[in-house]
């Protein structure tokens, strides 16, 4: 894998909101880095996986990931990515998300982002360019969060379980067997998972499978192949889960918007 490094010329802070254009090939990975601004990481085309100390977020088209100020993160390009990032200074963050999350990108916000990348800096806050940036922030404040995150636990033994399931998301080991391997009972395993990730063990595993499925679908694999590889009894069972979680069937996810 190629590795790319963060460039911080957009962190100079001469404007409250700055938009940046970057395109990356499939397989490219950024080194872990952080910014003194908040960031909305978005791609007009392509799929990214964003990793932080707290977990992993998958970012398909029509979605964006929100990163608060100072969040250490790395970005892996699942496919070729046409990236459009928005950097927001601390004094402009009122009403915006306070933690990492995946946001649904509305058609209006997409067009505002495209307009924002053409704005030169510094711009006059009271004129057209400043109004575009303020409207962009207003639109971000309306966006719903989506269930595309995979929070990681802190305990070494639970991290080991999660890394195994991330590597082999179709693993069919039961909750009882995992608890036995860790030398604890099932109820203790569930309590610890909820305490450290906010999710039950079963919910975490379903989320890991969903994210793995999105990565595979993004590179053009067939729904039936993805379903069977992830341990589902049939494509129908997989499609039912997928639509329940994301509102659309897997066959149309990458052409869809929830708006």
Per CATH, is 153-255 categorized as 3.30.2080.10?
no
pLDDT confidence band for 134 (50 / 70 / 90): very high
Report which secondary-structure segment, H or E, holds 55.
strand 55-59
DSSP secondary structure of 208-242: HHHHHHHHHHHTT--HHHHHHHTT-SSHHHHHHHH
pLDDT of residue 25: 95
Burial of 3 (0-12, 13-18, 19+ CB in 10 A): exposed
Sequence ranges of the domains in the chain = 3-146, 153-255
Average pLDDT of the chain is 87
Report d(CA 191, CA 202) in Å as an integer. Answer: 12
Which residues touch 205 (CB under 8 Å, ≥6 apart)? 165, 169
- Chain mean position to CA 38: 15
Average pLDDT for 40-46: 91
pTM of the model: 0.74
Q: Same CATH fold, 153-255 and 3-146?
A: no
For 48-99, how does the pLDDT look when each residue is reduced to its tens digit (9 = 90+)? 889 998 888 888 777 899 999 999 999 999 889 999 999 999 999 999 999 8
CA angle 7–8–9, rounded 5-degree value: 105
Q: What are phi and psi of 39, to 5 degrees?
A: -140, 135
Contact between 82 and 59 under an 8 Å Cβ cutoff? The reply is no
Q: Which of 135-139, 201-205, 229-233 has the highest mean pLDDT?
A: 135-139
CB 165 within 8 A of CB 202: no
Closest-CA residue to 246 (of 256, 236, 231): 256
**Average pLDDT estimate for 154-163:** 93
Tell me what pLDDT residue 77 has: 94
For the chain, percent of residues with pLDDT exceeding 70: 92
Answer CATH for 3-146 from 3.40.50.2300, 2.60.120.810, 2.60.40.10, 3.30.750.24: 2.60.120.810
pLDDT at 131: 95
């Amino acid at each position: 894998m190629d590795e790319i490094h963060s460039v911080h010329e957009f962190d100079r802070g001469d404007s409250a909101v700055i938009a940046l254009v970057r395109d990356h090939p499939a397989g490219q990975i950024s080194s872990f880095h952080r910014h003194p601004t908040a960031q909305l990481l978005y791609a007009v085309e392509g799929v990214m996986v964003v990793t932080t100390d707290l977990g992993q977020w998958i970012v398909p088209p029509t979605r964006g990931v929100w990163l608060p100020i100072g969040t250490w993160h790395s970005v892996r390009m699942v496919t070729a990515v046409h990236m459009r990032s928005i950097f927001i200074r601390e004094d402009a963050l009122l009403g915006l998300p306070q933690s990492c999350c995946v946001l649904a990108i509305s058609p209006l916000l997409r067009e505002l982002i495209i307009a924002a990348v053409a704005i030169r800096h510094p711009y006059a806050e009271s004129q057209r360019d400043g109004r575009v940036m303020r409207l962009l922030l207003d639109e971000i404040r309306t966006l719903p969060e989506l269930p595309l995150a995979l929070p990681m636990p802190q305990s070494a033994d639970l991290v080991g379980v999660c890394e195994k399931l991330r590597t082999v998301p179709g693993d069919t080991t039961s909750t009882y067997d995992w608890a036995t391997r860790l030398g604890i009972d099932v109820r203790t395993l569930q309590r610890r998972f909820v305490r450290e990730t906010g999710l039950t063990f079963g919910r975490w595993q379903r989320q890991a499978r969903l994210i793995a499925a999105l990565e595979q679908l993004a590179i053009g694999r067939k729904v039936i192949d993805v379903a069977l590889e992830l341990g589902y009894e049939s494509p129908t069972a997989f499609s039912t889960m997928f639509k329940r979680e994301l509102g659309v069937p897997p066959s149309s996810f990458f052409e869809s918007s929830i708006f």
